Structure 1
Amino acid sequence: MTEAAIRRTPGTPCWVSLMVHGLAATEEFYGALFGWDFHPGPQQLGPYVRGTLDGKEIAGIGQLPPDRHLPIAWTTYLATDDADTTADTIRSRGGTVGVGPLDAAEAGRMAIASDPTGAVFGIWQAAAHVGTAVAGAHGTPVWNELITRETSTVGKFYEALFDYDVEPVVSADFDFLTLRLEGRPVASLHGVGRALARDRGAHWMTYFEVDDTDAAARLVSELGGHVLQSPRESANGRLATVADPEGAVFTIVRSADH
């Protein structure tokens, strides 16, 4: 595969990862829920594995040091051609770079940042590792959405980072932006106003495709996780918001086009 074939347009969500305290237990949970197998990944920041389906990489899970008490949450990574330049832009536009930029062995170069509202995200400059290698199957990331208080200001931040075309939903009571690259929707920003949970603040939400939302939600509970919002119909399919046993929140969805 040529470099041109695997390059992802800057700003495209390309990977998701999770840092937890109990790596083995977390592998067991996601392995049972999504059918992932696990293989070692770069160890610069500690023990780290990549979840795979049929040998193709889907997502990363790392282990936090025992003395680190950070929020347990899935992190969305956005593709970049130059992690250092993007990190400089993040800082100049009012965001914060908390980790990196640093090399992840031969896999690529990355940084962990937060936007001006505090929502954490990653940037990934691919080398050997190009990101999530499967789309559309059970257990694969299908969408990423920023949940924030309001979209107008933070939308300008993301526009400054990448060459997004921003498509607003015009409504008196609905604050929603779709981010497009080369005419294709790649992510969204959802302003929820006072409904934003104080204990979480602004955050990126990962949506994982499932074959059966109701069955997957029941399995989450059986495996020690929690169903935060029961399965419900939406314009994009049947979805539920759930959390794993350590509290990492994500959405499961059977897409409307399945």
Structure 2
Amino acid sequence: MVGMADFAEGVPCWVDCALPDADAGRRFYGALFGWRFREPPGAGESYAYVGPHPVAGLYRKPDGRLPTAWTVHFATPDAGRLLARAVAAGGTAVSGPDVIGELGVRALVADPDGAVFGLWQPGTDKGFRELTAPGAYAWSEVRTRESAVVDPFYEHVFRYVGYDVPGASGERLWSPEDFGPGVDTAVLGRAVLAADDVPVELPAHVLAQFRVGDCGKAVEAALRLGGRLRDGPRATPYGTFAELADDQGAVFGVVAE
């Protein structure tokens, strides 16, 4: 998507993964999604490419106590301002704002239920440059047990308009205020972690999902590479979905439309 517009505030613009072994991560995701990797100067992580376009980042986590996880980043023209707004709304500042050379400014936030997400103030790095091809980012969903607290947090911080999904218990879609509510304008989803089928030790999180041509084949490939199947494949109104963990434990989703 050469020349694609910059992202409006509150729209997911980047996703990256902190791993104990970044080389192993490049092997796993390179084989699964066909990603090729480069290391832009000053980025501190490997960028994954679909064709000529960056779609994700992988890096070795600096502290073994940190979670092995994918992190979704939301665009903003001012990471410091939005971080302060999130903290005032009941979130927790995890790190930043950190200036990443000329690339941009990054901050990490935990929502009131503990799900961590990023804020990205672009410099020369605008974020995703491809969103339609297999291997590209597809969607994100906040997974929480505390929707009564989490919903107003995101709707205040990002000025989202909320939209409950008809016929889908516990699911909500969010659109930026200027976009208007509805399925066609949504940029983020929220699902409630059900007590009867989700382990109590599973923390709240933001689940990143990637496009694939065939969900079943992607699951088979992930299992061959040492990953684990957590859910699916199952049909949804938006395509066939599966939730996986890679060979180091980072959880992500795949979806075939």
What is the TM-score normalised by the length of structure 2?
0.91
> What letter corresponds to residue 174 of structure 2 in structure 1?
L
**Residues 36 and 52, structure 1, Cα contact 8 Å, conserved in 2:** yes
| 2:156 aligned with 1:160 | yes
Whether the aligned pair in 2 keeps the contact of 1:58 and 1:132 (CA below 8 Å) is yes
Q: What residue is the counterpart of 2:173 in the other structure?
A: 178
Note the 1:1-258 alignment, pairs <5 A: 6-41=5-40, 43=42, 47-65=44-62, 67-169=63-165, 174-181=169-176, 182-183=179-180, 184-194=185-195, 195-255=197-257
Compute the displacement of 1:204 (Å).
0.3
Q: CA deviation at 1:199?
A: 2.6
Residues 49 and 32 (structure 1 numbering): CA distance in 2 closer, same or farther, change over 3 Å?
A: same
Distance in 1 between the 2:11 and 2:241 partners?
A: 23
The Cα shift of 1:9 comes to 1.1
| Structure 1 position 208, deviation (Å) | 0.6
Distance (Å, rounded) in 2 between the aligned partners of 1:232 and 1:191: 18
- SS of 1:247's equivalent in the other structure is coil
- Identify unmatched segments of 5+ residues in structure 1: none
SS of corresponding position for 1:101: strand
Q: 1:7 to 1:53 in 2, by over 3 A?
A: same
* Backbone CA RMSD of aligned residues: 1.9
Aligned residues: 249
Instruction: Tell me the SS of whatever aligns to 1:24.
Output: helix
Q: Which amino acid aligns with 1:204?
A: V
Query: What secondary structure, in the 3-state scheme, does the structure 2 residue paired with 1:135 have?
Result: coil
Q: Deviations over 1:78-137 (max 9, x none)?
A: 111110000101111111111100111111101011001000000001111111111121
Question: 2:113, 2:146 within 8 Å by CA — same for their partners in 1?
Answer: no
Residue deviations 1:183-231 (CA, integer Å, cap 9, x gap): 3110111113424433331100011110011111000011111112231
SS state at 1:158 partner: helix
Q: Secondary structure of the residue that 2:126 maps to in structure 1?
A: coil
Identity fraction in percent:
33
Whole-Å Cα distance in 2 between the matches of residues 156 and 118 of structure 1?
A: 15
Q: CA deviation at 1:42?
A: 5.5
SS of match in other structure, 2:186? strand
CA contact (8 A) 1:19 1:73 kept: yes
Instruction: Please report how far the alpha carbon of residue 69 of structure 1 lies from its aligned counterpart in structure 2 after TM superposition.
Output: 2.1
- Structure 2 residue ranges without an equivalent (≥5): none
Cα distance in 1, alignment partners of residues 49 and 90 from structure 2? 36
The CA deviation string for residues 46-92 of structure 1, in whole angstroms up to 9 with x for no partner, is: x5111011121100111123x52222111111111110000101111
Q: Which residue identity is paired with 1:39?
A: R
- My pick for the range that moved more, 195-204 or 131-140, is 195-204
Question: What is the identity, as a one-letter code, of the residue corresponding to 1:210?
Answer: V
